[in-house]
A and B are shown apart, each in its own frame.
Chain A
Amino acid sequence: MRNGVLISAVIHMAALWIGFVGLPDWAHSEPELVEQPVIVELVTVSEETRAARPKPEPVKEDRPPPNPPRKLEAPRSTEAPPAPAEPEPEDTVVVPETKPEPPKKTAKPKRKPASPSRKVAKAKPAPPKAAATAPEPKKYKFDADRIAALVDKTPRKRSAPDAPETPRTPPKVTSPTAQPLEGQQVTSSEVDALRAQIERCWHIPAGARDAENLVVEIRVFLNPDGSLRREPQIVDDGRMAADPFFRTAAESAARAVLKCEPFKMPIAKYPRWREIELRFDPREMLG
């Protein structure tokens, strides 16, 4: 009996103690929540973490060169006036790309000093290193980047018109803020611009049944001038023959790509967009 009384007394004391001590803690935790806006700053982090990815890239670059289908380009060049210039730049530009890439790795420290000009970067230089060593975290950040990029849409869109213009002129002419981005991940505004360009060309397959089954993934291989290096490749090619609805959807997607080329992308980041995977998803449009 006495034990019971003692235990209840102890518990009551503990409850009271927690009540007193806990309340101030709650009050203090609020400022921590205020600090969370750091999430918004992650946008720039994402760009830098992605910048670390060039390391795996060289492997990819070894593969694309074997793409022989330049024969396919030849007819196109006869049909479209701008095309004739394609083959030359392709050869000339591809070579410099392999060279600039290694410098990127060395150049990374340079960027860090450059990025501090942005308020955010102070905390971020560290995470990129961790990301570079551990590949798995990258995957998580990959999605987070996108979300962050979406959040960041409005401010970026202002710079969007600049981005497509700069590649036309020599890359060095770009504004000082854009320069440190060279060779980095394509920005959300640049992706938006490309997306808008393709969406204008995509005639949605009308009346398709089961729109959720008609998501088409297409791999697009590009030249530095934004033209197609070879025919767009439908990822799920096997379904073409079996499913007429999928074939219709896939063909409409391929047509959009063929109709839209050349794509307007910053040449400085060519290694980032020389190969693009487009995911055509009609669900939103077909309801």
Chain B
Amino acid sequence: MRAPAILKRVIGPFVASAVVLAAAPASAVLKIDITQGVVDPLPIAVSVFHATDEGGRKAARDIADVVTGNLERSGLFRPLDRRAFIQTPEAMKVQPRFADWRVIDAQALATGATTMLEDGRLRVEFRLWDVFAGQQMAGLAYFTAPSNWRRIAHLISDAIYQRLTGEAGYFDTRIVYVAETGPQTARIKRLAIMDQDGAHNRYLTDGQYLVLTPRFSPTSQEITYLSYRQGTPRVFIYNIDTGQQEVLGDFPGMTFAPRFSPDGNKVIMSFIKDDNSDIYTMDLRTRQIARLTRSSAIDTSPSYSPDGSRITFNSDRGGTQQLYVMNVDGSNAHRISFARGRYATPVWSPRGDLIAFTKFVQGRFFIGVMRPDGSGERLLTESFLDEGPTWAPNGRVLMFFRQRPTRRDGSGGETRLYSVDLTGHNERRVVTPTQASDPAWSPPGSAPPLLR
């Protein structure tokens, strides 16, 4: 027992002096602050996967192509030209020769292998490498029906995105939108759904009735939207799996601008009565209706905060159309937009930190974001007509629709979907087979579950 105490006494001073000695040189280390860097997209090499047998050969190339396309569209990555690659997929079976990839300036490298199993399933193996550190950053293996190869490619894209940005990916998601065909005077509008990259496009309604503002359920395979099916515009719910449509609530008049609550149990919408629109919710299980606003002004476009505690909406109760935020029970409604112009279609970010909106000022439309307290307003896009922002599930990217008129009076031209990064960079058109408007991004993992 005594020995340790003595040891402590003897060694104690030495330890203390050692600490002092260790601390002294540390202060002499040259310290440099690095505050600037390159904002260019990260150079990444996505190699064609190694097909271990003939069955997996097509998937090996297709998956790499889809991953490359996803990463490129995100604007955060610059996939390198495969013709510059030195090492073949076969040669990388064990581990890549990192020097070969450093030479072409790749900072990250994605490799993989595909195998057709005896039971008919496809096995896809994927690895992500840090080229300069010479380390594996991620490794995953999937088993699935060969027809699901595209989903696998999206999941791999998500894994790469998440590992390199720290943020969840949004590639395994879908977009529901309104497909528009025909002349402006006799427009046919159909509900359509597609993968985030434009693949698997299909139409949900036949275009017999006008449809508007589709929104995804966060929890089920359902879409709520506005349809003229019953003559007056009413809010409907559409089941993607069954194709069933159902009018929502027994409102004596026009309901519009629907949106699900974050838990998926309620739909919040506007209801017009006597030329006055107020905000209502309907519980999907009990079918109970609750009124949240009671102003004589037009209150519309409600959107929940992701935690379900607050609601943002737009109202002209102050004279012009502006953004407001209120508690989920309708109390404490206060205005948050005060700059010049009119504000509409507020949408709360899935992150909760921002609200996206459409702004109209001096004859131009803008898509912008501001904090929920109204501060930090930033405008991301500008055109003759930009409208209807929707958030990617990770709160990093916005999609909206834009009309480019061909005539001076604003008629003619095309209506198309666009996406833009939260920074205002990387604005690009979303390819759809027809003209399109009113996009809504699905929540993450909304696609049917995948066999693994």
Partner of B165, one of A206, A277, A281: A206
Which residues from B are CB-within-8-Å of A63? 25
Partner of B99, one of A79, A191, A195, A282: A79
List residues of B (8-38) whose CB comes within 8 Å of A's CBs: 21, 24-25, 27-38
List residues of A (270-285) whose CB comes within 8 Å of B's CBs: 272-273, 275-285
Nearest A residue to B38 by beta-carbon distance? A203
Asked if B166 and A204 sit within 8 Å, CB to CB, the answer is no
Most buried by A among B30, B33, B34, B99: B34
Contacts A204-B38, A206-B165, A255-B130 given; does A273 touch B30 at CB 8 Å? yes
Which residues from A are CB-within-8-Å of B98? 79
Which residues from B are CB-within-8-Å of A281? 33-35
0/1 string, B161-194, CB within 8 A of A gives 1: 0111111000000000000000000000000000
Asked if B25 and A56 sit within 8 Å, CB to CB, the answer is yes
Q: Is A247 an interface residue (CB 8 A)?
A: yes
Which residues from B are CB-within-8-Å of A283? 35
Question: Min CB distance, B78 to chain A, in Å?
Answer: 10
Asked if B165 and A284 sit within 8 Å, CB to CB, the answer is no
Q: CA–CA, A201 to B36, complex, Å? A: 10
Q: CA–CA, A256 to B137, complex, Å? A: 16
Q: Is B42 an interface residue (CB 8 A)?
A: yes
Asked if B166 and A248 sit within 8 Å, CB to CB, the answer is yes
Q: Is B39 an interface residue (CB 8 A)?
A: yes
Which residues from B are CB-within-8-Å of A258? 132-133
Q: Interface residues of A: mostly helix, strand, loop or mixed?
A: helix
Q: Is B289 an interface residue (CB 8 A)?
A: no
0/1 string, B135-177, CB within 8 A of A gives 1: 0010000000000000000000000001111110000000000
Q: CA–CA, A282 to B35, complex, Å? A: 6
Which residues from B are CB-within-8-Å of A247? 166
Q: CA–CA, A248 to B351, complex, Å? A: 19
Interface size bracket, B side: 35 or more
Which residues from A are CB-within-8-Å of B421? 207
Asked if B76 and A59 sit within 8 Å, CB to CB, the answer is no
Asked if A191 and B32 sit within 8 Å, CB to CB, the answer is yes
Give the total of A residues in contact with B, Cβ under 8 Å.
53
Q: CA–CA, A251 to B422, complex, Å? A: 23
Q: CA–CA, A53 to B30, complex, Å? A: 12
Which residues from B are CB-within-8-Å of A207? 76, 165, 167, 396, 421-423
Q: CA–CA, A156 to B30, complex, Å? A: 19
List residues of B (208-259) whose CB comes within 8 Å of A's CBs: none
Which residues from A are CB-within-8-Å of B422? 207
Nearest B residue to A202 by beta-carbon distance? B37
Q: Is A186 an interface residue (CB 8 A)?
A: yes
Which residues from A are CB-within-8-Å of B133? 231, 251, 254-255, 258
Q: Is B107 an interface residue (CB 8 A)?
A: yes
Which residues from B are CB-within-8-Å of A259? 102, 107, 132
Which residues from B are CB-within-8-Å of A45? none
Nearest A residue to B74 by beta-carbon distance? A206
Q: Is A148 an interface residue (CB 8 A)?
A: no
Which residues from A are CB-within-8-Å of B132? 254-255, 258-259
List residues of A (231-287) whose CB comes within 8 Å of B's CBs: 231, 244-249, 251, 253-256, 258-259, 272-273, 275-285
Question: Min CB distance, A5 to chain B, in Å?
Answer: 62
Q: Is A128 an interface residue (CB 8 A)?
A: no
Question: Min CB distance, B138 to chain A, in Å?
Answer: 11
Q: Is B409 an interface residue (CB 8 A)?
A: no
Q: Is A172 an interface residue (CB 8 A)?
A: no
Question: Min CB distance, A259 to chain B, in Å?
Answer: 5
Q: Is B274 an interface residue (CB 8 A)?
A: no
Which residues from A are CB-within-8-Å of B137? 251
Most buried by A among B29, B40, B42: B29
Which residues from A are CB-within-8-Å of B36? 199, 202, 284-285
Q: CA–CA, A194 to B31, complex, Å? A: 11
Nearest B residue to A207 by beta-carbon distance? B396
Which residues from A are CB-within-8-Å of B351? 209
Question: Min CB distance, A73 to chain B, in Å?
Answer: 13
Asked if A195 and B32 sit within 8 Å, CB to CB, the answer is yes
Question: Min CB distance, B76 to chain A, in Å?
Answer: 5
0/1 string, A110-131, CB within 8 A of B gives 1: 0000000000000000000000
Q: CA–CA, A248 to B37, complex, Å? A: 15
| 30 A-B contacts (beta carbon < 8 Å) | A56-B27, A57-B28, A60-B24, A79-B99, A139-B27, A191-B30, A195-B32, A195-B33, A203-B40, A204-B37, A205-B166, A206-B76, A207-B421, A207-B423, A208-B167, A209-B166, A244-B162, A247-B166, A248-B163, A251-B137, A255-B130, A259-B102, A272-B30, A275-B29, A276-B31, A278-B31, A279-B31, A279-B34, A282-B35, A285-B39
Measured CB to CB, the residues of B under 8 A from A are 21, 24-25, 27-42, 76, 98-99, 102, 107, 130, 132-133, 137, 162-167, 351, 396, 421-423
The 8 A-B pairs with the shortest beta carbon distances in the complex, nearest first, are A60-B25, A202-B37, A248-B166, A245-B166, A258-B132, A79-B99, A204-B37, A244-B166
> A207-B422, A258-B132 provided; 9 other pairs, C-beta below 8 A?
A56-B25, A57-B25, A195-B32, A199-B36, A203-B40, A204-B39, A244-B166, A249-B166, A275-B30
Measured CB to CB, the residues of A under 8 A from B are 53, 56-57, 59-60, 63, 79-80, 139, 186, 191, 194-195, 198-209, 219, 231, 244-249, 251, 253-256, 258-259, 272-273, 275-285
